[in-house]
Structure 1
Amino acid sequence: MAEKYLMKGNEALAEAAIRAGIDGYFGYPITPQSEVLEYFSKWLPRKGIAYVQAESEVSAINMVYGAGGCGKRIMTSTSSPGFSLMQEGVSYIACAQIPCVLVNVQRGGPGLGTIQPSQGDYFQAVKGGGHGDYRLIVLTPNSVQEQADMVYKAFDLSEKYLNPVLILSDGALGQMMEAVEFKEDYVKPSFDPTSWATVGGVAKRGKPVQLTSLFIEPERMEAKNFELQVKYKKIEENEVDYELYHMDDAELGFIAYGLSSRIAKKAVDLAREQGLKVGLIRPKTVWPFPTKIIKEYSKKVKAYLSIEMSVGQMIEDVKLAVECKIPVEHYGKTGGIVLSTDEIIAKARKMLGK
């Protein structure tokens, strides 16, 4: 039986990365994710693993670009304003098809905002916060345990698809302490970067490797975009992940991810005690988004309620999924205020007319 540890979510992220075989970390401190850097600063040098506290988030993401381009397991982490600063580099990395893991421990905004938890970075994460037609794979943990588990998955997916993977967390998940177990049977998948990475010498394909996102000729740029879209289609077909909770007989479906899904799940339990038939669809990936399952259950429920710690962002993807066939409404809090089960149930009661 695996040993249990009582850890903050940020610390669990870092420890899982070490156990997943991280080769280097580059970051810059910002609340509420600074414990990630603190943990790495203590342990990575002792293990002979590269650790750099960069002079800014801009520097950190470009270090990720360079180190990831060498075929190494590389990671960075930040919080909302810092992730905004990284967006140019993220776009470069996505176009150059560099595997890496990014972590955004979201806080309230816009602007400098607050250091309290938020989910206001959904658009930035799933629609592409930088320029151009690119996608990140976006994983959404809702517990300290999942923060750890999704680190392994993020590294594996990034190497499988040569694509950056974002773990979209928030300030509450990063700061809360819960029991966590780390995988004892994890085996790093076979990964040979010599065909594409800058590992020195001539690559297997018989010519020097050049990793770039610069394509002056429009035909080459278009070809690169089409190449990326083929990959994204494959990701959409194979990597959608979600959880269903009491959806079989639900008349109203809640849709929530991350911290909001924990509160929504409790609201489901309390609402059912009051005779309300509600259920929950929890996206574990918000890109690729679980469009098909949401569409499927739209034929069974009367309506959906999108529950988010924002003024309403994920709701747009829910509306697209149901194709205007049933009502979709929003309940949310913003500015760092956490959701209320009582208010969720009151909203559900109103939507069901009970």
Structure 2
Amino acid sequence: MVKVLMKGNEVIAEAAVHAGCKYFFGYPITPQSELVAYMAKRLPEVGGLFLQAESEIAAINMVYGAAGTGVRVMTSSSSPGFSLKQEGISFLVGSELPAVICNIVRGGPGLGNIQPAQSDYFQVTKGGGHGDYHIPVLAPASLQEIVDLTQDAFDIADRYRTPVIIMGDGMLGQMMEPVEFYEAKPKEVPKKDWATTGTRGDGGPKIITSLELNAESLEKHNHHLQAKFKQIKENEVRFEAYETEDADYILVAFGTVARIAMNAIRKARQEGIKVGLIRPISLWPFPEKPFIDTRDKVKSYITVEMSAGQMIEDVRLAVNGHAPVDFFGRTGGVVPTQEEIYHKIISVAGGVEV
């Protein structure tokens, strides 16, 4: 295979095309506008359909309509636009419709700025709209990993009839790296006999809705959804553990921050401080196992985020009081540096920098 140099937003779009996505509805917003522009050019080349909606609210509801027919469909946005999609995302979950939604996070709250951030963590992992629900969330750390996780996102969406979120930050969307693509086949995708494809020869009319006025019936549907979420938690956890076998201290970071943290770990180990890394790849379901495996052996965990501290809550739950959990974060679009993370390790370890 030949590697090509591409920008992150364009890699997401091309990976979606390779995954069989032929329908995209979106609205440009920095720092993910290149994704929308790429889809506008690329989808007609493969017999697909691109439509720039009049708003993010319109885009997510167009996704709802297309997903109801069983096709692979996608939308993308950045933080303020992603917030506008929340009601439609709740509709998708309630109606059990598969779709992929990409959020390239920027600084907030409010309009904030167009710099990289990870402060949408609560929104994507805790269910940003109304109702009791979760959505699988995948957080790539490199452009090549985007290729794999985009395919996974469409497969998970079809397998469980659920929307799936790909979450990156503005740095991931704007950086350029060499990547290679491959024609991937869907894995174990069930027959979509629920799709609204017409009534001729498919067993009669289909009704897709998230409205249920009877309380007992809605509770039954919620129990069904909770059972599905349990299945996803059992089957779709993804993480990377690096140098954790002998670690006294473990950094916890995701996305591009994990790449920066990796360099800080190497420097600390050169100084004789045994540090490892747990990188959640699925933000939901959150990977508890690597913490259960290490929490009785390490002296402390250090969560590193481009936020005021959001993932740290899930880390503390997974550690369950077995070890201290410290935190280092930068907000507003400021990217933590290797040196800053290294100094945090030194501080927690109580060591003296050489």
CA distance in 1, matches of 2:201, 2:252: 46
TM-score (structure 2 length as normaliser)? 0.97
Change (3 A) 1:302 1:202: farther
Deviation at 1:353, TM superposition (A): 1.5
User: C-alpha displacement at 1:190, in angstroms?
Assistant: 5.6
Give the conservation status (yes or no) of the 8 Å contact 2:76–2:103: yes
How do residues 73-222 of structure 1 correspond to structure 2 at under 5 angstroms?
Answer: 73-184=72-183, 186-189=184-187, 191=189, 193-201=191-199, 206-222=203-219
Structure 1: how far apart are the matches of 2:313 and 2:45?
46
Quote how far apart the aligned CAs of 1:202 are.
6.4
| Separation in 1, partners of 2:112, 2:143 | 24
Aligned with 1:229 (options 215, 226, 231) = 226
Match of 1:288 in 2: 285
Q: Which residue of 1 aligns with 2:235?
A: 238
Using the TM superposition, name which of 49-58 and 295-304 deviates more.
295-304
**Letter in structure 2 aligned against 1:349:** I
Q: Is the 2:135–2:164 Cα contact (8 Å) retained in structure 1?
A: yes
| Deviation of 1:33 (Å) | 0.2
Moved over 3 A (4+): 189-194
2:42 is the counterpart of 1:18: no
For residue 337 of structure 1, give the secondary structure of its aligned residue in structure 2. coil
CA–CA distance in structure 1, aligned partners of residues 200 and 130 of structure 2: 32
For the residue of structure 2 that corresponds to 1:44, the secondary structure is: helix
Structure 1: gaps spanning 5 or more residues: none
User: Is 2:69–2:197's contact at 8 Å kept on the other side of the alignment?
Assistant: yes
CA shift in 2, pair 1:282/1:194, >3 Å: closer
* Residues in 2 aligned to 1:294 and 1:110: alpha-carbon distance in whole angstroms: 30
The sequence identity of aligned pairs, in percent, is 52
Offset, 1:192? 5.2
User: 1:37-95 CA distances to partner (integer Å, 9 max, x unpaired)?
Assistant: 11111111232201100000000000000000100000000000000000000000011
Amino acid in the other structure paired with 1:200: G
Alignment of 1:304-343 (within 5 A): 304-343=301-340
Amino acid at match of 2:23: G
Asked if the contact 2:159/2:190 (under 8 Å) is kept, the reply is no
What is aligned with 1:65?
A: 64
What are the residue-to-residue correspondences of 1:272-287 with 2, within 5 Å?
272-287=269-284
Change (3 A) 1:189 1:325: closer
What displacement does 1:295 show? 2.2
3-state SS of the aligned residue for 1:330? Answer: strand
TM-score, length basis structure 1? 0.97
Closer, same or farther: CA 225–343 of 1 in aligned 2, 3 Å: same
Q: Return the letter of the residue paired with 1:210.
A: I
Contact 1:5–1:181 (CA<8 Å) still a contact in 2? yes
Partner of residue 352, structure 1: 349
CA contact (8 A) 1:196 1:203 kept: no
SS in 1 for 2:70: coil
RMSD after superposition: 1.2
